[in-house]
Copies of this chain bind each other. A is one copy, B any other.
Amino acid sequence: MAEKIYYESFERTEQFMAVAFAAIGVPEEEAKICAAVLIESDKRGIDSHGVGRFKHIYIDRINEGIQHVNTRFEVVREGKTTAVVDGHDGMGHVIGVRSMQMAIDKAKEYGMGMVAVRNSTHYGIAGYYALMAAKAGMIGITGTNARPSIAPTFGVENMLGTNPLTFGMPTDEDFPFVLDCATSITQRGKIEHYERIGKEMPEGWVIDSNGDPVTDPGAAIKGFGSGTCALAPLGGIGEDLAGFKGYGYAAVVEILSAALQAGSFLKTLSGIEKDGSKQPYHLGHFFIAIDVNAFIDVEAFKKTTGDILRQLRASKKAQGQSRIYTAGEKEYLAYLKRSETGIPLNEQVRKSLSDVRDQLSVDFKFAWEK
């Protein structure tokens, strides 16, 4: 029997998260920022990074003491276009929004800006920050390291995070170009989804400790836990389908997320101390803003970009395919649909939200309780 799904509106879901973040101690204005980043993920149809993670990635980590409600945003070093920020394990969304805003402000003055961050926590969808730049008429680029998941080409050990390398560009269409993707071939959220629906994974997503492909999602999830499975990079296992390229891009993100800011990298991002206890993840991010206006009238840029995207969509389809998408388009379509329906919430997510509410004694009634 299909699981019962209830819907809650964007506004109400965002409001709940903001109130709950504030109740656990996040300063009110910053709680709103965190909620705004998370809800953007749900608006865009990216269920893996939104309200579904509210409890276990944020509230639980705050309760475990490995993420702090008060964000000490320390600018360690600053130049005309550049800055290094230490986030002191505060709220990743707050650190991310303030850092990209710094990059945007610098780009307004100098044409470009870049902020490198160390000691941060999970910053939500990378796309949020790329979107900030696109909305400001800029090109936005961002990435983050993450707990080790990807094995290098010819390797089997999870070394690199899923390390998104994300770009946003303004266009003359109803939605900007946003390529928000991990440099791994897939991510755990998708594998968990395959397990739930009882589907085999394609060969090439996951390898075991011999380097052989794993297609059973349950075995993969178990293997991630025990360290005997790893994700393949974009391009898959070995070199045949150019896995070394995805591995290379994941390494680029790892370097940009650690080497400019003297931050943590690779295995040290596991969130586990040597004695087995939990410790802060000490994540690193980077944020680049490029002011289109420094090169060309922003409307001309938007028109060219729109033309490129329209021509791609209008090109000849493969047999059985009726539509070609461009980056950010499926997310926009999800947004249009969910603007009508609200956000679909399964039982597990609903329970996590009511648990948080009860734990924090927040006065809030969800749609499904009425």
Query: Which listed segment binds B: A87-95, A218-226, A256-264, A335-343?
Result: A256-264
- Most chain B CB within 10 A, of A112, A186, A256, is at A112
Across the interface, which residues of B come within 8 angstroms of A116, CB to CB?
295
Question: Which chain B residue has the least Cβ–Cβ distance from A109?
Answer: B80
Instruction: Determine how close the nearest CB of chain B comes to the CB of A159; give it in whole angstroms.
Output: 5
- Say yes or no for A324: interface residue by CB 8 A criterion: yes
- Most chain B CB within 10 A, of A251, A291, A326, is at A251
Across the interface, which residues of B come within 8 angstroms of A267, CB to CB?
311
- Most chain B CB within 10 A, of A157, A159, A235, A248, is at A248
Among candidates B202, B234, B309, residue contacting A245 with C-beta atoms closer than 8 Å:
B234
A294 touches B81 (CB 8 A): yes
- Say yes or no for A217: interface residue by CB 8 A criterion: no
- Say yes or no for A185: interface residue by CB 8 A criterion: yes
Question: Which chain B residue has the least Cβ–Cβ distance from A81?
Answer: B111
A 299-345 contacts with B by CB, 8 A: 300-301, 304-305, 307-309, 311-312, 315-321, 323-327
Known contacts A110-B81, A154-B321, A159-B312: A234-B211 contact under CB 8 Å: no
Across the interface, which residues of B come within 8 angstroms of A266, CB to CB?
308, 311-312
Across the interface, which residues of B come within 8 angstroms of A235, CB to CB?
185, 234-235, 241, 246
B179 touches A304 (CB 8 A): no
- Say yes or no for A156: interface residue by CB 8 A criterion: yes
A 202-261 contacts with B by CB, 8 A: 202, 204-205, 207, 209-212, 234-236, 240-242, 244-246, 248-249, 251-252, 254-256, 258-261
Among candidates B165, B183, B234, B305, residue contacting A255 with C-beta atoms closer than 8 Å:
B305
Number of A residues near B (Cβ < 8 Å) is 90
- Say yes or no for A181: interface residue by CB 8 A criterion: yes
- Say yes or no for A155: interface residue by CB 8 A criterion: yes
Across the interface, which residues of B come within 8 angstroms of A251, CB to CB?
177, 179, 308-309, 312, 326-327
Closest 8 CB pairs of A and B: A211-B318, A179-B248, A259-B304, A81-B111, A154-B321, A82-B111, A82-B294, A157-B316
A residues lining the B interface (CB < 8 Å): 77, 79-82, 84, 110-114, 116, 139, 151-157, 159-160, 165, 167, 169, 177, 179, 181, 183, 185-186, 202, 204-205, 207, 209-212, 234-236, 240-242, 244-246, 248-249, 251-252, 254-256, 258-262, 265-267, 290-292, 294-296, 300-301, 304-305, 307-309, 311-312, 315-321, 323-327
